[in-house]
Amino acid sequence: MLDYKHLEALARVVQEGGFERAARVLFLTQSAVSQRIRLLEESCGQILISRTTPPMPTPAGKALLKHYRQVKLLEDGLSAKLTDSSDSTRTTLVIGINADSLAHWFIPAIKPVLERMDLLIDLRVDDQEQTHNYLREGEVIGCISSESSPMQGCRVEKLGTMTYRLLATSAFINHWFADGFSLEASQLAPAVIFNRKDRLHHQFCEQCFGTNSDAFSAHYIPAPEQFFEVIESGHCYGMVPDWQSTELLRFGQLQEIVPGTTIRIALYWHCWNLTARPLQAFSQQLLINASQYLMD
């Protein structure tokens, strides 16, 4: 039988990034937190967390944490339903999300549910192709991902589509792509890519040239506003979502390098297949409101 106080200690150490911080949150001494985790490891017969900085769960620890988070979400939902009291403990929803969604539509879409329910949001930000891994590892209860297939124990709903275009200033295009957008020119011209997990730039070039290449001269700027700023300033070229570029394209401040050629990324909401009230309410609001900001 698992002791959930011991599981809570394990979860807090991982969440807070250390034993001392976890102890403060739990109103315990650091030695008491360590003792709880040692007892949990003894009952399981294996190490559950590495004593590194920060501490990291082992595969067995990840499995236990996933179980603990699912049970706690169900308990929070039941408690809210039974008591309907503002004094009950707030439910925290840990969610994986891509940076473009966070910068554009996500907060307005969930605003109504945050106003109606006493929820806390803990976001894990990564590329839309990577957030699925957080759900697979049990680090989040739901994620926004470009993956369309549900994993075991989860459900999936389509949110909508984001469209990206390869953009630059006219001066940049005249300097680097005067003879057109070729594979050689694309590799010589300075590009900007969100991070080393981001494959949008590579997908676009593969779509244009029929070959996959990593030989780009690229800045890596994992922040949507600053990413856009270096393109707008004429320093480089890159893949920009329509929501961010429409006005500047309209007034000619930016131009498409390959007019009419786009990458469309379908986004999906994946979450645990649980009947917990907080998760259900959040998912419903997200699906309804995302359609106001994303294309079909």
Give per-residue pLDDT as tens, 118-164: 889 999 998 888 888 888 888 899 999 999 999 888 999 999 999 99
DSSP 17: T
44-52: average pLDDT? 89
Is the pLDDT at 89 greater than 90? The verdict is: no
The pLDDT value recorded for residue 255 is: 98
The pLDDT value recorded for residue 269 is: 97
Alpha-carbon distance of 270 to 167, in angstroms, equals 31
Alpha-carbon distance of 141 to 135, in angstroms, equals 6
The set of long-range contacts for 183-188, using a CB threshold of 8 Å and a minimum separation of 24, is 183/209, 183/211, 183/213, 186/216, 187/213, 187/215, 187/216, 187/217, 188/217
The pLDDT value recorded for residue 215 is: 85
pTM, two decimal places: 0.78
- Band the pLDDT of 102: cuts 50, 70, 90: very high
Name residue 122's beta-bridge partners: 94
Alpha-carbon distance of 244 to 228, in angstroms, equals 8
Instruction: Give the DSSP per-residue string, 123-181.
Output: EEE--TTTHHHHHHTTS-SEEEES--SPPTTEEEEEEEEEEEEEEE-HHHHHHH-TT--
Alpha-carbon distance of 61 to 137, in angstroms, equals 11
The pLDDT value recorded for residue 128 is: 83
Give per-residue pLDDT as tens, 164-203: 999 999 999 999 999 999 999 999 999 999 999 899 999 9
Q: How many other CB atoms are found less than 10 A from the CB of residue 23? A: 20
CATH number of the structural domain 162-263: 3.40.190.10
Alpha-carbon distance of 106 to 168, in angstroms, equals 26
Is the pLDDT at 88 greater than 90? The verdict is: no
Name the strand (E) or helix (H) holding 93: strand 91-97
Is the pLDDT at 111 greater than 60? The verdict is: yes
Residue 217, classed as helix, strand or coil, is strand
The pLDDT value recorded for residue 77 is: 63
Query: Which tops the pLDDT comparison, 105 or 70?
Result: 105
φ/ψ (deg, to 5) at 21: -65, -40
Report CA-CA distances (Å) from 215 to 189, 190, 202, 230.
11, 11, 10, 20
Question: Residue 44 corresponds to which tokens in the numbers above?
Answer: 């399981």
Question: Residue 223 corresponds to which tokens in the numbers above?
Answer: 């922040």
The pLDDT value recorded for residue 87 is: 47
Percent of the chain with pLDDT over 90: 59
The pLDDT value recorded for residue 83 is: 47
The pLDDT value recorded for residue 84 is: 52
CB-based contact 156:149 (threshold 8 Å): yes
